[in-house]
A and B are shown apart, each in its own frame.
Chain A
Amino acid sequence: MLKATPTSPSLTPKTSQRTGKHQRSSAARRRDNLYGYLFLTPWLIGFFGLFVGPGLYSLYLSFTKYDVISPPTFIGLKNYVDMFTDDDLFWSSLLRTAYYAGLSVPLSVIGSMFLAILLNNKLRGITIYRTLFFMPSLVPLVASVILFKILLNGDFGLVNEGLRALGMENPPGWFADSKWAIPSLILIRLWGSLGGTQMIIFLAGLQGIPTELYDAAAIDGASAWQRTRNVTIPLLTPTIFFNSVLGIIGALQTFAAAFIATQGGPNFATWFFALHIWKQAFDYFNMGYAAALAWFFAILIVILTLIQMRLSKRFVFYYGE
């Protein structure tokens, strides 16, 4: 049995050595930390100064009446009460936004996915096809919207002239028709996004699926559709989920296309929630009310995203888990 005595000569220097190492490593760690924080500081300043700070200030403004010209006046929850009780465009713009997101996101995600599956084939000249499909996403949104406005002019546009030539008596009014205005905006979104970033992410997802799974399915006699249904799509669910979450957030925030194409019209048909916030803030200068709308909308998007995260456990499969 080892008996250590207090006078054991071997212990003292060892302890001392360990303490010295500890001190050195502690000082080095501090220095490393300091440098780390130093390099992080520009981002942190931006994060707090340009995001957290203004965000908190807008939260404060949401409890005030503020028109930019005069100092904000605290009015408690009035803005939040008014949006539910005294704003004709609140619910309608919210529903309109949900309609746009509900229609455009599935079309965009499913379309991109099938396009990616098609472009994942080892065909001759496939990179040319991929490039061609990707090109519309490079066109600036403003240019796309103006182009589509000319093409889809209800009375004089090329599309309707073509439809009339084909015998259609009353072709859609597109942007000028309140029933067709949102589908027209969805058309622009699909044109720009089907072959865009979403498709690239799907392609990356497809190329991450192990080929042995396809080989095994083929040996078992699975057809191409069965391989797609039972191998490709289940293993793409993380990518589908990712694209859906980002797609829904993006669609709910839709603003620019409606602002450029229709300014919310005709007959409020494209008066989306983000446009409503913008109008209140920068056209009517009801900054406090606009801040309340923005906070309500931000919380709504967070809740929707959390619901999606929760639901994802039911349909998202990760290979190897």
Chain B
Amino acid sequence: MPFAAAVFGPILYAQKSEIAMTKNISRRQLLKTIGLTTVAGALAACAPPAAAPAAPASGAAAPTTAPAADGKVSLKWDTFRAPGTGWNEERIKTFTEKNPNVEIEFRPLTGASQQDNYGKMYAQFAAGDLGDVIAFDPSHFHFWRAINKGIITPLDDLAKSDNTDLTQWYEQFMNLQRVNGKLYGLPSWGWAGQDTMVINAIPFKEAGLTLPDPTAHETSMDTYAEWARKLYQKDSVFGLATTYDEGHLVTLTRAFNSDLIDAEGKKSLLATDTKAQDALRWAYKLAVEEKIMPRPADMADMVAAQVDGKVIMRWGGSLDVRNYKKAITGGAKGEVAQGLLPMRTDGKAPSQIRGGTWNILQTSANPGVAYQFLKHITSMEGSLGFNLVGGQGAFVRPDVVAELIKKDAIHEWFIPNLENGIIAHAPANSRGREYNDACSNWGTKMMDPNENIPFEQGLKDLHDNIQKVLDMEPA
């Protein structure tokens, strides 16, 4: 009440004065009135709610629904995945046809970049307005943050009571959805990350080399290095190109039977694990000592360079293979081929399973219905449509990949690693974005041929800066 009096008092006073015309409205008075009103309004608008939506203490909410007075159940679907393609609308239409008592409000998020949308989603959550069905992508590390902050709910009880067959998706994509033993999402888009050498087959064969079997892990890292040397032509052609972002560094170390950080996300392995050090030495030798790889920061235009025949092998992922094939148009001297990285001693394929997930808001009033909708959009039809209508790379289901193979046999190449890849490890403190930046900046610095940083120094800097992020207080 005193707050209201402070805000509205001057307004009422000013109005009274005006009516009576007994007092002049001073500049100061008017400014004070407007100032107080707008500042108070701004503060009220900007301030978070008195209590942010509380996370249920015991994990999953019961699969209940809260129908409105007219018997309709309402869901809100917030996403930046596929708006404008018609896929979202088709999923809503087909779901509500089967469930006429459900209304789904589709609220597309259309930030300038994917990262913009997470900011908006966090703000929506703080304001109590985040949708029931949402997506916090593991590839951007927001998945783990959303779990740690109690934004998304575990789905185990919902899946159990629904008797959902969880084997309909590739095992590794399901493992990616599990944190501390609980299932937090159902996968829709996804691919095996940075697990291949995308090869332009024409110059590769012209150099007298034999293309590797695209589905066999038969080529050693030493052989790839030899090919890189053989294909390199000073100032005109690079045999191999790669970057040193988090995904590439992880797969590089995995190809040498190690990893970049431990599975708990608390420790960088670069200081102590000699296999991880061997991995970085392999790249350092080619990039800095022999200088036969392009500057890492030039990699942004590398797809075009590969189409032009200036890069022959590019370290990428299954999605890059498909995209490269699509990019070869109009008589470009290109033909796509793929080489897989050598199989690890533990029988796993060096990779970083990258994938999206659909999640349910922990405070959703209708988690049961939301779960049914999640199943609907991650079903075979939903996921296939996500590829063909939504234009996304969604290789998370064997039945979908089988359908995609009918359209383009190249998808067959991806199966070995989809079946046998390794999931991403995230920092335990939810500092994924900082981790990402530490990897790419310090990795690039170490491998920059112009910097000529001694290997040991580069390795130490990279390790120290990754560890520094892992040691930060939880976000």
Binding site for B on A (CB under 8 A): 27, 30, 33-34, 37, 41, 44-45, 48-50, 52-54, 56-57, 67-72, 149-150, 153-156, 164, 173, 175-179, 262, 264-268, 279, 282-286
| Chain A residues near B30 (CB-CB < 8 A) | 37
| Chain B residues near A173 (CB-CB < 8 A) | 295, 297-298, 450
Interface 1/0 per residue, B273-305 and A, CB below 8 Å: 000000000000000000000111110110001
A190–B290 Cα gap in the complex (Å)? Answer: 36
Most chain B beta-carbon contacts within 10 A, residue among A54, A153, A268: A153
B39 and A30 form a contact (CB under 8 A): no
For this complex, 25 residue pairs linking A to B, each with C-beta atoms less than 8 Å apart, are A34-B25, A37-B30, A44-B34, A48-B39, A49-B41, A49-B42, A54-B42, A57-B42, A67-B122, A68-B126, A70-B52, A71-B48, A149-B300, A153-B301, A155-B294, A155-B310, A156-B305, A156-B308, A173-B297, A176-B295, A177-B450, A266-B444, A267-B441, A267-B451, A268-B441
| Chain B residues near A164 (CB-CB < 8 A) | 235
Most chain A beta-carbon contacts within 10 A, residue among B48, B116, B301, B437: B437
| Chain A residues near B301 (CB-CB < 8 A) | 149-150, 153, 156
Chain A CB within 8 A of B238 CB: yes
State how many angstroms separate the Cβ of A293 from the closest Cβ of chain B.
15
State how many angstroms separate the Cβ of A269 from the closest Cβ of chain B.
9
| Closest B residue to A181 using CB positions | B297
A30–B14 Cα gap in the complex (Å)? Answer: 13
Most chain B beta-carbon contacts within 10 A, residue among A53, A71, A155, A268: A155
> In the complex, which of the residues A44, A153, A268 contacts B31, with contact meaning CB atoms closer than 8 Å?
A44
B451 and A27 form a contact (CB under 8 A): no
Chain A CB within 8 A of B35 CB: yes
B448 and A37 form a contact (CB under 8 A): no
Most chain B beta-carbon contacts within 10 A, residue among A156, A262, A282: A156
Chain A CB within 8 A of B43 CB: yes
Q: Given that A27-B21, A176-B295 are known contacts, is A68 also in contact with B123, CB under 8 Å in the complex?
A: yes
| Chain A residues near B451 (CB-CB < 8 A) | 178, 267
A265–B245 Cα gap in the complex (Å)? Answer: 12
A123–B115 Cα gap in the complex (Å)? Answer: 52
> In the complex, which of the residues B35, B125, B431 contacts A48, with contact meaning CB atoms closer than 8 Å?
B35
| Chain A residues near B296 (CB-CB < 8 A) | 176, 266
> In the complex, which of the residues B24, B35, B119, B125 contacts A33, with contact meaning CB atoms closer than 8 Å?
B24
B297 and A37 form a contact (CB under 8 A): no
A53 and B41 form a contact (CB under 8 A): yes
A50–B35 Cα gap in the complex (Å)? Answer: 11
> 12 new A-B pairs (CB below 8 Å) besides A153-B298, A177-B295, A282-B116?
A33-B24, A48-B35, A48-B39, A52-B39, A69-B125, A71-B52, A149-B301, A155-B295, A156-B310, A177-B297, A268-B445, A285-B122
A82–B236 Cα gap in the complex (Å)? Answer: 48
Residues of chain B at interface, number, CB under 8 A: 56
A284 and B441 form a contact (CB under 8 A): no
A53 and B43 form a contact (CB under 8 A): yes
A30 and B24 form a contact (CB under 8 A): yes
A262–B123 Cα gap in the complex (Å)? Answer: 28
B305 and A155 form a contact (CB under 8 A): yes
Chain A CB within 8 A of B381 CB: no
| Chain B residues near A67 (CB-CB < 8 A) | 122, 475
A69–B52 Cα gap in the complex (Å)? Answer: 8
B122 and A57 form a contact (CB under 8 A): no
B25 and A33 form a contact (CB under 8 A): yes
A279–B52 Cα gap in the complex (Å)? Answer: 24
Chain A CB within 8 A of B353 CB: no
B305 and A69 form a contact (CB under 8 A): no
B41 and A176 form a contact (CB under 8 A): no
Chain A CB within 8 A of B162 CB: no
A186–B35 Cα gap in the complex (Å)? Answer: 41
Interface 1/0 per residue, B301-322 and A, CB below 8 Å: 1000100101000000000000
Q: Given that A48-B34, A154-B298, A284-B475 are known contacts, is A57 also in contact with B43, CB under 8 Å in the complex?
A: yes
B21 and A52 form a contact (CB under 8 A): no
A276–B243 Cα gap in the complex (Å)? Answer: 23
| Chain B residues near A179 (CB-CB < 8 A) | 450
A262 and B149 form a contact (CB under 8 A): no
| Chain B residues near A156 (CB-CB < 8 A) | 294, 298, 301, 305, 308, 310
| Closest A residue to B39 using CB positions | A53
Q: Given that A54-B46, A173-B298, A282-B115 are known contacts, is A69 also in contact with B122, CB under 8 Å in the complex?
A: yes
| Chain B residues near A50 (CB-CB < 8 A) | 42
Chain A CB within 8 A of B408 CB: no
B25 and A30 form a contact (CB under 8 A): yes
Most chain A beta-carbon contacts within 10 A, residue among B38, B41, B119, B448: B38
> In the complex, which of the residues A49, A57, A175, A279 contacts B297, with contact meaning CB atoms closer than 8 Å?
A175
Chain A CB within 8 A of B151 CB: yes
| Chain A residues near B126 (CB-CB < 8 A) | 68-71
A266–B31 Cα gap in the complex (Å)? Answer: 48
A70 and B38 form a contact (CB under 8 A): no
| Chain A residues near B308 (CB-CB < 8 A) | 156
Question: Which 5 A/B pairs are nearest by Cβ-Cβ distance?
Answer: A53-B42, A176-B297, A48-B38, A267-B445, A266-B297
| Closest A residue to B301 using CB positions | A153
A217–B52 Cα gap in the complex (Å)? Answer: 74
Interface 1/0 per residue, B8-52 and A, CB below 8 Å: 000000000010010011010011001101110111001111111
A252–B297 Cα gap in the complex (Å)? Answer: 24
A164–B235 Cα gap in the complex (Å)? Answer: 8
A69 and B149 form a contact (CB under 8 A): yes
B119 and A68 form a contact (CB under 8 A): yes
| Chain A residues near B196 (CB-CB < 8 A) | none
| Chain B residues near A150 (CB-CB < 8 A) | 301
A268–B310 Cα gap in the complex (Å)? Answer: 27
| Chain B residues near A30 (CB-CB < 8 A) | 21, 24-25
A56 and B39 form a contact (CB under 8 A): yes
B25 and A154 form a contact (CB under 8 A): no
| Chain A residues near B448 (CB-CB < 8 A) | 177-178, 266-267
| Closest B residue to A49 using CB positions | B38
Chain A CB within 8 A of B72 CB: no
A3–B27 Cα gap in the complex (Å)? Answer: 44
State how many angstroms separate the Cβ of B103 from the closest Cβ of chain A.
28
Chain A CB within 8 A of B433 CB: yes
A284 and B297 form a contact (CB under 8 A): no
| Closest A residue to B123 using CB positions | A68
